[in-house]
Homo-oligomer: A and B are copies of this chain.
Amino acid sequence: MWLGKVVGTVVAPTKSESLIGSKLLVVQPLNLDGMNTISLQVAVDTVGAGKGETVLVCTGSSARHVTGNENSAVDAAIVGIVENIDLEGLSKAQYWVQKG
């Protein structure tokens, strides 16, 4: 799994049937030094995450299983909302989990 920050939402009226009703969030992956990457990932929310929150993202076939639909068009799912990351000597980590 990887950690990221929710930075936006995707509006896609035309989509696979299995995605109807899903909340599609844009998540920015985080690096160990606290710097954000420019990579862009979209994940289905399964835990009630919102903008600015640091989240745990699960990918691949495991993400599909989380949705409860074995045939869903999902390869990434938000599976946790992070309250704290305990990283020795990496002070920027605390910044990640602040909202906004």
Contact = CB atoms under 8 A, between A and B. Distances in A.
Total copies of the chain: 5
Contacts of A86: 8-11
A4 to B, nearest CB: 9
A57 to B, nearest CB: 9
A51 B80 CA distance: 21
Interface in A1-56: 1-3, 7-16, 18-19, 24, 26, 28-33, 35-43, 46-48, 51, 56
Contact of A84 (B11, B71, B88): B11
A62 to B, nearest CB: 4
Given A7-B90, A24-B56, A56-B42, A12 B82 contact: yes
A95 B30 CA distance: 25
Given A19-B79, A64-B65, 7 more contacts: A1-B43, A3-B40, A8-B85, A8-B93, A16-B66, A31-B39, A58-B73
